[in-house]
Amino acid sequence: MQSPSLQFTAMLTAMLTARQKPAPWTGHGDAAVRIGERGLERGRPLPEQRPDADPVALVLIHPDTETALTGTLHCARTRIHGAWTEPYRLLTHALAGRDLPHDIDLSTEVPSHRLRRDDRVRDR
């Protein structure tokens, strides 16, 4: 059994690895959606959503309970960081005990100067 500090270190390492090398999102399954400067939230596309659509119609959901946190949002594909994986939980508003901003607008692209270099290359 690992100590709590080793468990936290393992979780943090997994999150940093996932953040640096995200699994590509294919248009199926949940996506990690960029919110604000550094946050990611779990987004679930609507069932009728085409995999190649831009913008993507999705609902942000709680990473643990899978309850909807928003109504349908239209998300520019450039805001999708990659496929959702569990290590991203550490970056969500829900895990931090914060509410999502009331004025979420995912319809606009993330300005390229706010993306890391790796994200700009991958999103092309």
pTM of the complete model:
0.74
Q: How far is CA 89 from CA 48, 67, 81, in A?
A: 26, 14, 14
pLDDT category of residue 30 using cuts at 50, 70 and 90: very high
Selected residue with higher pLDDT from 111 and 29: 29
Contact status, residue 72 vs residue 46, Cβ threshold 8 Å: yes
In the sheet where 39-45 sits, what is the strand order? 73-75, 56-61, 39-45, 31-35, 80-83
The answer on pLDDT for 90 being more than 90 is: no
The answer on pLDDT for 120 being more than 60 is: no
Q: What percent of the chain has pLDDT over 90?
A: 33
